[in-house]
Amino acid sequence: MAERDPLLADVPPDPLSALEARLGHRFARRELLVEALTHGSQRRSGDAPDNQRLEFLGDRVLGLVIADKLCRSHPRSPEEGLTRRLAAMVDAPGLAEVARRIELGPHILLSRSEAEAGGADKQGILADALEAVLAAVYLDAGLQAAEALVERLWGAAIAEPDAPAKDAKSRLQEWAQARRLPAPVYRQIERHGPPHKPVFRMAALVVGFEPVEGEGTSKQLAEQAAAAAMLARFDVPA
C-alpha cells in the first residue's frame, strides 16, 4: 500500500472522499455531491442550492430501480407483496437506517441551529439527503451508476426471500376480535412535508386503550405504522 506523502501529514484527509468510498462512486462533478448534502437550513441567498430538487429526483429514481429489481428478483410475488416490500425500503425510517449505515449524517451541511438540534441524525433529514445523493450519482454518471448504488445499499434487502407475514392492521384487528373488542379505527392527526412528498401522522384507536400514532408517506403506510406501534405496546409478536 502506498504511503502518504509526509508533506501532507498535517492535512486532514478529504471527508467527501471517504463518503465516496462508502458509496462506491467517485464523482466527476463533486458539486453535485455537495448540493445533495446541503440541507435547506444551510442555504443562504446567492449561495449554492440546497438538496430539495435532488431529493425530488432521487425519490423517483430510487422507486423505479428498487421496483425493477424486486420484480426481477421475485418473479412469483404478488403485487401486494412487492408493494409492501418497496414501501418498507423507501419510507423515511428505512432510508434513515441506510443513511446511518453509511455514516451520511456527519457530511450533511446544516445551519448551526439545526446542527445543535441534532439534525444530522434526524430521520427526515437523513432520508432526504440519501435520496438526493442517489440523484447526484444518477446525474453524474447515469442510470447504471444509480443502479449500482442501489444494489450496494439495498441489494441484501431486495434479495431476501418473501415473508408471508400478515400486515400490522390485520394482526391488530385479529387481536381486538380475540378480545371481543370493536375493530380498531384510524384518525388522521397531521399532514406535513412538501406537496410532492407528504408525511401523514395517523392514530390507531382501540376501545379502552390510549391511542398510538404512526407516520408514513401515505395514509395507508401511516395506519400500518400506528397499528405496528399499538401491537408493540401490547407485546404482540411481529
pLDDT at 8: 42
pLDDT at 187: 96
Q: Report yes or no: 224 and 203 within 8 Å, Cβ to Cβ.
A: no
pLDDT at 143: 97
Residue 57 has phi, psi (to 5 degrees) of -70, -45
pLDDT at 166: 65
pLDDT at 6: 52
pLDDT at 209: 94
Helix 92-101 vs helix 143-159: angle between axes, to the nearest 10 degrees?
Answer: 100
Same fold, 13-159 and 168-233: no
The answer to whether the Cα torsion of 32, 36, 42, 43 is positive or negative is positive
Q: Write out the DSSP string of 182-226.
A: PPPEEEEEEEES-TTS-EEEEEEE-TTS--EEEEESSHHHHHHHH
- Fold annotation for 168-233: Double Stranded RNA Binding Domain (3.30.160)
- Residue entry with cell 387481536: 175
Q: Report yes or no: 208 and 179 within 8 Å, Cβ to Cβ.
A: no
pLDDT at 237: 63
Question: Residue ranges of the chain with pLDDT lower than 70?
Answer: 1-13, 44-48, 162-166, 237-238
Tell me how many degrees the CA angle 108-109-113 measures, rounded to the nearest 5.
115
Residues recognised as catalytic: 59, 131
Domain ranges within the chain, ordered by starting residue: 13-159, 168-233
3-class DSSP assignment, residue 38: strand
From the options 1.10.3470.10, 2.10.109.10, 1.10.1520.10, 3.30.70.270, give the CATH code of 13-159: 1.10.1520.10
pLDDT at 49: 87
pLDDT at 45: 46
Each residue of 100-144: pLDDT tens digit?
999 999 999 999 999 999 999 999 999 999 999 999 999 999 999
Q: Write out the DSSP string of 98-109.
A: HHHHTT-GGGSB
pLDDT at 47: 65
3-class DSSP assignment, residue 237: coil
pLDDT at 80: 77
Distance CA 206, CA 174 (A): 12
Q: Report yes or no: 102 and 23 within 8 Å, Cβ to Cβ.
A: yes
- Residue 117 corresponds to which cell in the numbers above? 438540534
| Structural element, H or E, at residue 48 | none
Buried b / exposed e along 92-102 (16+ C-beta atoms within 10 A) = bebbbebbeeb
